[in-house]
Structure formats: structure tokens, C-alpha cells
Structure 1
Amino acid sequence: MDKKAVRAWVMYDWANSAFAIIIMTAIMPIFYADVAGKGLNGSTTTALWGYTQSLGTLLVVLLSPILGAIADKAHSKKKFLAFFTYMGVIATLLMWFIGEGQWVLASFLVILGTLAFSGGNVFYDAFLSDLVPEEKRDMVSSQGYAAGYIGGGLILILDLAMISYPQAFLLPGKLFATQLSFALVGIWWLVFSIPFFRHVREKGSSGAVDWKNVKALAREGFESVKQTLMEIGRYPELLKFLIAFWFFSDGIDTIVKMAAIYGREVGVGQNDLILALVITQFVGIPCTLLFGRIAENLGAMRTLIITLMVYLFITILAYFMNSAFDFYLLAILVGFVQGGSQALARSIFSRLVPPDRNAEFFGFFGLSGKLASLLGPFVFGFVSQLTGTSRLGIVSIALFFLAGIIILQFVDLEKGRVQALANSKKIPLDPGGPGVIG
């Protein structure tokens, strides 16, 4: 295992988590409600934000498996990751120009950035199997999420300080400071992704993509996806896990994207919202690593189910939220389980895919996650608009966690690993190989 390459892989999570926390979770939702959506009532703004998130991820739903298949065919995961990184950087830099009432521009740039963030993660996640042996993946995947919490937490503290005390940073006011915070996301993402592109090498890569053959590669990608859809029945444990992931990822993603704007609607102040999300970041750092350790002893599947049960409890508490104190409590609980659940889902999935088709199957992994991202915020927004309150919307998310927990009971990781190896094109089945603790 190349430790420098692994550290660089972990560092990319530090880089792009700035977009996840500032744009998707903390500052942009509040800015969208107070500035970009000025003149609209609270429930309408919440609905529009939910629709924006859903539309952004719809593109990823359509593209993820195709892009993954193309990357495998062209041996170009790294090149595609670079493309999406630059797209995300440009989108966030342009957010500097969003002003009052410009919710259309805000939605467009958030959609573009979401496509870049989520599309890039298809290829980023696929490198985990290339770089890390199976027995180390739970911990390395957890380290990636922990690094994301640290990086996201640091830029969130910086942006909160700028917005709260603009004069101390020689800025003309809070609006300018908030707009500047979006541009800083782009700079942060670009600068801290450099180690990945310098030190991570792709297996079988020729070092360049023949862009003249992109149309042919796309055609091959579609054929590969079609073939994968026809073959998915050969991986029944993988299929069951994907279905479970679709449900619980729906819940997680909706809570992440809608928490701030939900808190704003029920009366929590801007500074309390952002400070609570800072707490989420830093609670998440040790807890993500903690769940990585727990998984090594208790098993990845059982540990994942524990985190989802905590999420189920969170959705119930959120219905009764009335004060800043309540939001702080929920933020701590989310920080406790968020990174652990996501890291374990990624490492479990890596054990269930054929080793020679990582990008293609991680494209389907992205597809499952993005289908969740598509439906959850839409349902949340629709219920908010229909009822005039978001409280019933947050309760409906509990059903997604419950369904995920139930389906996971029927996933056999050891059987799934054997199925993946047996159907691999390059790696023969080794019945005597190391087992997987679930």
C-alpha cells in the first residue's frame, strides 16, 4: 500500500468537503432563504431549495453509471475527477455574484456545483479499491470522512468569523462576507486537491484520454451499463445492499441538505445554525474514526445498522424542535453518526463489487445515492409546500431509515464477496481466501 497516495486520497475529502458543508449544508441554504429567495415566504423557499437539490442530483442519476463505465473503458478515473473538480471550482467562484432575489441564478450554480461534487465522487470513491487492501478499507474510508470533517469544519469556522465580524477582515458587510465565503470554497477545493493529482496513480492508465474517441467510449459505456443491468442479478447480495443504501442514504442526504433551511423556518437564528453545524463537523472527526474501530471488532454491517438507528431517533426529535438548544442537540447527534455511516457504507460496497469493474459499479453506487438525493429533498419540499410546515416532512424521512435497517438484515457480506470474485473477469474465485466480517 502506497501510504503517500493513500494520504493524498484522504486529502481530497478534505478539499471537496468545503462544498458539502458551505454550499449544501450550512451557509448557502441560509443565504438562499434570506437573500436569494428574498420576497418569498418560508415554506416556498424551503420547497425551492428542495427542488434545486433534486434537480441537481437528477443529472448525476442519469450520468453516474455511464461515466463510471467510460472511466473503466478508458482507464481515466483521474481525468474525469479532474474535470468535475474544475467544474465545481468554477461554479462556486461564480456564486460570488448572487444577489438579493436572484434565486434562479443561485439554483443554477448550486445545481452545477452539485453535479461536479457528486459526479467527481463517483471516481474518487472508486480509487479506494485500487489503493487500499480489503482489510484496511473500513479504517481508511473512515479517515477520509474524518479529514472531510476537519477541512469542512475549518473553512466553516473561517466563514462564520468573516460573516459575524466582517470589519475585522476589512470587509464592507455581512452580505459581501457571505458572497466571499462561496468563492473561498472554490479556492479551497482547488488548492487541497493538488496532492491527489500529484501522488495518486491510476492502475492501467495511459496518462491521457483520447478525447477524439469520447463518442465511441460513451457508446461503449452505454453498452457496459446495459450489460451491468442485465448482470446485476448475478450479485444478489450487492443488489440487496444497493436497495438498502438507497433508502438510508435518502434519509442521510435529506437531513444534511435540509437541516439549515428547516432550522431557519422554525425560528433558529443564523449564527446558532452555523455554529451548530461547526459542532457537527468537529464531533464527527473522532466519532467517524471511532466507528471505524468499532467496525473492526463488531463488524461493518452491525455497526452501520447502529448508526442508522441513531438517525431514526434524530428524525423523531427533529419533529419536536423549537429552540436553538434543540438544534444544537440534533447537530451533536448527527455528527456522532454521519461520517461513520457513510464511511462504512462505502467500504462495505467495495467488498461486494467485481475487482476489475470498480468505477462502473461505483457509478451504480453513486446512482443509488443520487436517486436518494433526488427523492428525499423533493418529498421534503413537497410536504412543506403542501402543509405549510416542514415538521411532517422531517418525520416522513424516518421511514427511509426504517426500510434501510430492515433490508440490511438480509445482506450476507461473505456470500457477496464470493459472488463478486466468482463473476470477476480478471480475478479467479479463491474459496480459501480471507473472509469478511460483517
Structure 2
Amino acid sequence: MGKSNRKAIYSWALYDWANSAYTTTVMAGFFPIFFKQYWAHDLTANESTFWLGVANAVAGLVIALLAPVLGAMADQGGLKKQMMLSFTSLAVVMTAALFLVAEGQWLMAVLVYLFGAIAFSGANVFYDALIVDVAEHHELDRVSALGYGLGYIGGGILFAVNVLMTLHPEWFFLADKAEAVRWSFLSVALWWALFTLPVAFFVHEAGGSGRMGLVASARAGFHQLSDTIHHLRSLKQVWLFLIAYFLYIDGVNTVAHMAVDYGLSLGFEADVLIAALLLTQFIAFPSAIAAGWLGERFGAKRVIIASIAVYAIACIWSSTMQNANDFYWLAAAIGLVMGGIQALSRSMYARIIPRKQATEFFGFFNMLGKFATVFGPLLMGVASVVSGSARFSILVIVALFAAGAIVLYYVDEHRQEVKS
């Protein structure tokens, strides 16, 4: 790996370090709690839950519908990096704006969060696709894993600092916990902006079709998207992978989004759940790096299937949890495979898609990732109501993992598709 290429790879991977602070501190950590207790304290618990759910649902739906179109536009106009930086700028501004939202202004908080979440997801479409511009074909597993690994450690470090700020605001010359949370949002924006700079300076697109204006890019993008949808049925490896990915990543997302709620339903304290989240983040860092090496040595598909098996076993195990130590062990097990399954899914997909339409195809990839947050939680909810047992509800996720592994088995990871 040449010196210039190495600089581009590390610069690209640092963006994961940059934006993962948003997923940990804002999305998973403080925003849901702060929304209920600070911005929406005048609403009932059901009302605040409803509006937070609306914000997440709308953000997911908007980016799911726009991602393939935006990807096609970027591919046609050579705009991947430019559009990634534009979406990132909007996301950073919206995150910083949370600092300014006053107590009780729940509607403003919802709107700011909504635009920030859309921008965050939009930037990821172009960031994921840029991997084909910084990494050679044989480096995809390792480079993708490096990004996820740095993301987990970077997001974990800032989240740990932010948690410390809320526990001991006086150490940071802050008045109280509420002020500490507001400054945490601002710290995420600054962190995100700072570590995006290497991408801006050292990552360059290669092999594009030449730059064109936004209007021309949009026109060409819609035409290209229509053409891709028409030909997708002939790209067997791609659509097989997308089906498999939709199934097993739905299981992964369900575990991530429902773990805290599941832990609370079993009677675990909030402090235990926060500690488990931090444990998962820091274990996921070396595990993601190791997964990249394992993917190169044994093949990404084999490592993904092994990771799916670990997730399935963890779901079965979690149905028997009795104490906090069990939850910590579960968090550690998930941390071992969480980064690897995401990183190798991205690199395996990058390997089989037409390289010249990388952003467009990653638009479909991210679209499915957004839609794959619906069926798992729904299955858990229905199972919980029907059975009357939270422990039984987690077991239904095993079906998603099993189905995803079976479909993935038939994907040839060494065959790159060429669009006719």
C-alpha cells in the first residue's frame, strides 16, 4: 500500500471515528432520555414516545426513499465526496443546534433531530461508496473493518467523556446534569467536524464519469436509477446478497435498538445498561479490526455466517438472563461480532457490485438498512403480547438470523457483477 493510498485510507476511516459520536451520544445515549425529561416534560410519557417515534420513522423513510436517487446522482456527476461533505455539514449544524434548544421546546427538538438524522444517514450513503475510491479490491475487507473499528473506539471515547460530564458536571465547570447533556451535543458537533477534515483534504474520487451540474446530475441520476432497477433482476449475486442482508441486518438492528428496552423489562437498572453499552463499544473496536483480517484469510461470507450464529446463540442465551453479570456477558458477546458483521457486509457488497455505480448501489444497500428496522421490533412486540413474556419475544429474532444465513450461503462473494 503506497504512502498516498495509505493516507487516503486512514482519512476515509477517520470519518467513522467522527460520525460514530453521533450514534452513541445523540441517537443511542442522551437524546431519547433528554427529550422525555427536559424538552418534553410537559407531555405525557405516551405523547413524548409518540413524537420521538415519528421523528425516527420519518427520518428513516425519507433517507430510504432518497438514498438510491442520491447515489445515482453522485455516480453520474462525480459528486460522492462533495455530497458527503454537504450532508455532513448539515448534520453537524443540526447537532450543534440541539445545544440551543431551550427547556420545554419539544417540537423544535424534534425538528432539529429529524433534519440531523436525515443528514447523518445521507452522508453515510456517500461515505460507504467512497470505499471503492480509496481501497484496492483485495483490501476491501481490511479497510472496511478499519473504519468500523475506529468508529467504535472513537464513538466510545467521546461517549465515555460525555457520561462522565453528566455524572460529575462540577469537574467540567458545569452547573448541572442538564447543562452537561447540552454541552455533550455541542462536543459531538465539534468532534464530527474536526475529524471530517482528513476526508476533505486527502480523499479523492477516481474513475468517475466527469463532473456535471446538480440539475444535469439529477436528470442523469433518475435515468440511471431506472436503468439499474430494470437490470437488477439480472444481477443475481447482488439481489441475493441484498435479500440476505435485509434479513440478518434486521436481526442485528433489532438487537441494537431493543436491547435497552429488553433489559429494562427484565428489571435491570439504567446504570447497568449504560455500562453494557460502553463495554460493547470498546470490545467492538479490536473485534472489527480482527474481523477484517479473518475476512481476508477465510472469506467475508464465512465470517459473516459465523457472526450470525453468534447473534442467534446470544438471543437464545438472553432469554435465560438472571442478573447484571449475565447482561455484561451478553454485551461482550455482541461486541465481538457487531463490528465485524457490519464491516464485512459492506466490503462483501462492494466486491460484487459494479464499481462504476458504487454510490447508486450503496443507496440500495443503505435503503434496505433503514427499512430493516421494522420487522424485528414488530415481531418482538407481537410475540411479547401473544406470549405475555419478554423472554420469549427475543427468541423470534433467531428466525431472521437463520433465514439470512441460508440465503447468504448461496451468494458467490468472489464474483463481481457487470451490469449489462
Fold similarity call, TM over 0.5: yes
Deviation at 1:97, TM superposition (A): 4.3
Deviation larger for 381-390 or 322-331: 381-390
Q: Which residue of 1 aligns with 2:99?
A: 96
Higher alpha-carbon deviation: 41-50 or 11-20? 41-50
Q: Is the 8 A contact 1:46 1:262 kept in 2?
A: no
Q: CA RMSD in A?
A: 2.8
* Counterpart contact for 2:208–2:356, Cα < 8 Å: no
Partner of 2:159: 156
How far does residue 220 in structure 1 lie from its aligned partner after superposition?
2.3
Following TM superposition, by how much is the alpha carbon of 1:23 offset from its aligned partner in structure 2, in angstroms?
1.9
Q: Are 1:73 and 2:76 an aligned pair?
A: yes
Mapped contact 1:25–1:256 kept (Cα < 8 A)? no
In the alignment, structure 1 segments of 5+ residues that lack a partner are 425-438
* Correspondence 1:190-269 to 2 at 5 A: 190-203=193-206, 210-211=213-214, 214=215, 216-269=216-269
Per the alignment, residue 20 of structure 1 pairs with 23
How many Å separate the matches in 1 of 2:95 and 2:392? Answer: 32
The residue aligned with 1:279 is: 279
| Partner Cα distance (1:16, 1:8) in 2 | 13
Query: Which whole-Å CA distance do the structure 1 matches of 2:42 and 2:382 have between them?
Result: 20
Indicate the residue corresponding to 1:434 in structure 2.
Answer: none
Picking from 106, 128, 131, the partner of 2:131 is: 128
Q: CA deviation at 1:102?
A: 5.4
Count of aligned pairs: 417
Post-superposition Cα deviations, 1:217-265, rounded to whole Å, max 9, x if no partner, equal 3232222111111100121111000011011111222322333344345
Shift in CA distance, 386/312, structure 1 to aligned 2, threshold 3 Å: same
- Whichever residue aligns with residue 196 of structure 2, its letter is S
| Structure 2 counterpart of 1:295 | 295
| Distance change (3 Å), C-alpha of 1:205 and 1:53 | same
The answer on 1:406 being equivalent to 2:371 is no
Q: 2: CA distance between counterparts of 1:10 and 1:316?
A: 34
The AA in structure 2 aligned to 1:17 is S
Q: CA deviation at 1:340?
A: 0.3
How many Å apart are 1:319 and its aligned residue? 3.8
2:58 corresponds to 1:55: yes
The equivalent residue for 2:34 is 31
Alignment check: 8 A CA contact 2:133 2:204 kept: no
1:315 counterpart residue number: 315
1:287–1:340 CA contact under 8 A, matched in 2: yes
Q: CA deviation at 1:84?
A: 1.0
Identity %: 38
Cα gap change, 1:225/1:108 in structure 2, threshold over 3 Å: closer, same or farther? same
Q: 1:172 to 1:324 in 2, by over 3 A?
A: farther
Q: Given that residues 15 and 190 in structure 1 are in contact (C-alpha distance below 8 angstroms), is that contact kept between their aligned partners in structure 2?
A: yes
Distance 2:288 2:310 in 1: 14
- Residue 153 of structure 1 deviates from its aligned partner by 1.1
Q: Which TM-score applies when normalising by structure 1?
A: 0.86
User: How far apart in 2 are the matches of 1:376 and 1:176?
Assistant: 36
Give the structure 2 partner of residue 142 of structure 1. 145
